[in-house]
Amino acid sequence: MDTVAPPPRFDPRGLVELDERVPGTAAIDGDRGSFDARDLTTRQINLELRRLVYELGVREVTVRNPGAKHSLGVGILARCRITFEGSLGYFACGLIDGPEVHVTGRVGWSACENMMSGVCVIEGNAGSLTAAALRGGDVVVRGRVGARTGIDQKGGTVIVLGDAGSMTGFMMQRGRQIICGDAGHGLGDSMYDGTLYVGGKVASLGIDCVPGEWTEADTEFIARKFSIYGLGSPPELQKFVCGKKLYNYDSLEPSERKLVL
Amino acid sequence: MTDTVSEAQPSGQARPEVERQGQNAGQDAPRRTSITIDAEYLSGHRFPYQEDMSLVEGVDLLAATPGQDINWLEDVELLEEDGVPAVFDRYSNSFLKIYFPIPEGREDEIARKVLIKHLHSGNSYGIALKERHCKFPQPELGPWLEGSRTVGADWTTPVLEGWEPPQH
């Protein structure tokens, strides 16, 4: 007798690993917790993180051996400190609002995409699309970043100590980027607003990206951020802004204006 | 969207952008539409901290934000909506108007304090939506306040009454 396979299960929220349970393996000491992620799946790691931060009120979490798994530390919406001892894969720490994250290794594509607030310090290199659609907070990359860093950025600050790839700041709408090394072709292409600072050579400027006038506010801002993150003395930086020839907010409908605030 | 707030505004000012829809003109209960949405429109009333600066003076912006500076508030500045000073609440996609005189040189600081007071108070319309619609467990009052209760732990798929799944 043939058996009929049950229909595939579906979660409208897009969850995979539907039956995953919280591993509950973390060691907790006061408001600190840590766990080894080596044998855990992506969802198990994120469930354990949420259990510690949301349910147990742990304020400092250390995740050992993250193994460059993708989508770790996403959607954490609380004030806490999270340290990943190792490297992370794609979409690390996206959609966060509040955490202060420290990654001791590297990260793949799209780290900190759609980050609302908080801090993310990455000791190594970061892939393309770092801080895509960043809304607020600080993303600090001590290594280099790939292409399209801060694409569609709507706020916040990206600091890169090394070089940045092509199309950095593509379609940037607000916020700031400090690139201490060289920047690839098409810097600030089609940007609406925001500020780009570059310490090294710029291969070429993108459409409507023009040199900006340096002010005291720029000096204060750069000095403050370098001091906070212990980055030493800032290099001599060039400032770039939007030339406002291609787009400007005055022509936008009110509803569109709100999308970039 | 039906406009019900213009009568609720303490100042009695009519919203300049409110207009009567043609198909309802002349009926007993005219339907009105608005092209802008602000916080008091969504809630139906003003909040005291929109009118009294002393209620926001004590807000500690550094304590309210992650990191060693004001973090995401760096991008929040005093704007204007309907000719009134206002701060944008990104958590409800609406403007929060400020009716008290703002001292010169403190525009952005006051705007940030009013916004944080609004978020701390749980009055942001986005917070009300969380209770009803959020799909994953999260702190009700977001990262701005310690000890907030968790909402979204019991989300279930909404069911449309009378709908039957297709036969294919």
Closest chain A residue to B157 measured between Cα atoms? A12
Q: Which residues of A touch B66 (CB under 8 A)?
A: 79, 98-100, 117-119, 137
- pLDDT tens-digit profile of B45-99? 899 999 999 999 999 999 999 999 999 999 999 999 889 999 999 999 899 999 9
Q: What is the per-residue pLDDT for B65?
A: 96
Q: Which residues of B touch A93 (CB under 8 A)?
A: none
**A2: how many CB neighbours lie within 10 A of its CB?**
4
CB atoms A77 and B139 under 8 Å: yes
Residue type, A172: M
Mutant choice from A15, A55, A117, A229 vs B, greatest count of B C-beta within 10 A: A117
Q: Are strands B84-89 and B79-81 parallel, antiparallel or unpaired?
A: antiparallel
**A252: how many CB neighbours lie within 10 A of its CB?**
14
Of B92, B91, B62, B56, nearest in space to B74 by CA: B62
Q: Are strands A27-29 and B32-33 parallel, antiparallel or unpaired?
A: unpaired
Of B71, B92, B95, B93, nearest in space to B82 by CA: B95
Strand order in the sheet with B79-81: B79-81, B84-89, B94-97
CB atoms B139 and A137 under 8 Å: no
**CA atoms within 13 Å, Cβ hemisphere of A130:** 34
**A147: how many CB neighbours lie within 10 A of its CB?**
19
Q: What is the per-residue pLDDT for A8?
A: 74
Q: Give Cβ neighbours of residue A71 (< 8 Å, ≥ 6 apart).
A: A42, A46, A89, A90, A91, A92, A94
Q: Is there a contact between B81 and B36 (Cβ–Cβ < 8 Å)?
A: yes
Q: Which CA distances in Å does A170 have to A116, A139, A146, A191, B76?
A: 19, 17, 13, 6, 22
CB atoms B66 and A137 under 8 Å: yes
- pLDDT tens-digit profile of B12-55? 344 444 433 333 444 455 555 556 677 888 888 899 999 999 99
Q: What is the ipTM of this complex?
A: 0.92
Of B161, B139, B136, nearest in space to B148 by CA: B139
Q: What is the DSSP string of A168-203?
A: TTTT--EEEEEE-S-B-SSBTTT--S-EEEESS-BS
Q: Give backbone dihedrals phi and psi of B6, rounded to 5 degrees, phi first.
A: -60, -30
pLDDT band with cut points at 50, 70 and 90 for residue B124: very high
Q: Is there a contact between B38 and B17 (Cβ–Cβ < 8 Å)?
A: no
Closest chain A residue to B92 measured between Cα atoms? A258
CA A247 remoteness from chain centre:
26
How many contacts does A have with B, using Cβ atoms within 8 A?
80
CB atoms B66 and A77 under 8 Å: no
Closest chain A residue to B135 measured between Cα atoms? A13
Alpha-carbon span B1 to B44, nearest angstrom: 13
Residue A174 forms beta bridges with which residues? Answer: A154
Alpha-carbon span B62 to B111, nearest angstrom: 14
Alpha-carbon span A210 to A205, nearest angstrom: 7
Q: Is there a contact between B47 and B118 (Cβ–Cβ < 8 Å)?
A: yes
Q: Mean pLDDT in each 10-residue stretch from start to end of chain A (261 residues)? A: 76 83 96 97 95 94 98 96 98 97 98 98 98 98 98 97 98 97 97 96 97 98 98 97 80 65 72
Q: Is there a contact between A216 and B57 (Cβ–Cβ < 8 Å)?
A: no
| pTM of the predicted model as reported, rounded to 2 decimal places | 0.88
Q: Is there a contact between B112 and B70 (Cβ–Cβ < 8 Å)?
A: yes
Q: What is the DSSP string of B70-116?
A: -GGGGG---EEETTEEEEEETTTTEEEE--SPPPTT-HHHHHHHHHH
Q: Which residues of A touch B155 (CB under 8 A)?
A: 13
